[in-house]
Structure 1
């Protein structure tokens, strides 16, 4: 059954998930912004939970300096629809954050699924 949470509380859960990333890993994330949107873009699946837009570190050349930040999106409505409880939502936000940050490091979906982040 669908349920709701106000945007400020949802954003706070995203902040908590980001704060839980180990410092050693967080220190390696550069020029990335994390954004929350209510819905995925129209060209994406309606049930998409998150999206990484950018160039993975493994794909960057020497001329990447000064580029706009990579972007990680978390999609509020699909995440809310996917989860039946606050506990499940907290966990799914955490998993989605880790999943999208992994794309920043060049880890593909197949590997993430094998690791349980799919």
Structure 2
């Protein structure tokens, strides 16, 4: 059975996940906003999404652009979890996974590292 959780509580778990990321890495995030949405317009199964230009793709011409977006999707995460502890774990994995994309780490490497 899926977990029922308020948006406010879910956002707190996202904030907790961000707090668990080492400060040295958070300081390297550049021009990124992290958002919570209920669902992805493209997929009911998508847990998170990074949209933007990874740091490894930014050249001298990078500038005057809107922030990259990391979106964490609440309902898909809640639908695969049975407890709040599972939600907290899945949120953390998803946040770390999407931040890794900002640093240019692809899905294949994230799977090798256990952050699928």
Shorter-normalised TM-score: what interval? over 0.9
Give the corresponding residue for 1:65. Answer: 63
SS for the counterpart of 2:35 is strand
Give 1:26 deviation, angstroms: 0.6
TM-score by length of 2: 0.97
TM-score by length of 1: 0.95
Cα distance in structure 1, aligned partners of 2:88 and 2:82: 11
* CA RMSD between the two structures: 0.8
> Any stretches of 5+ residues in structure 2 without a counterpart?
none
Equivalent positions of 1:14-29 (< 5 A) are 14-29=14-29
Cα distance in structure 2, aligned partners of 1:80 and 1:2: 6
Give the corresponding residue for 1:75. Answer: 73
SS for the counterpart of 1:117 is coil
**Residues paired across the two proteins, number:** 116
Equivalent positions of 1:103-118 (< 5 A) are 103-118=101-116
Runs ≥4 residues deviating over 3 A: none
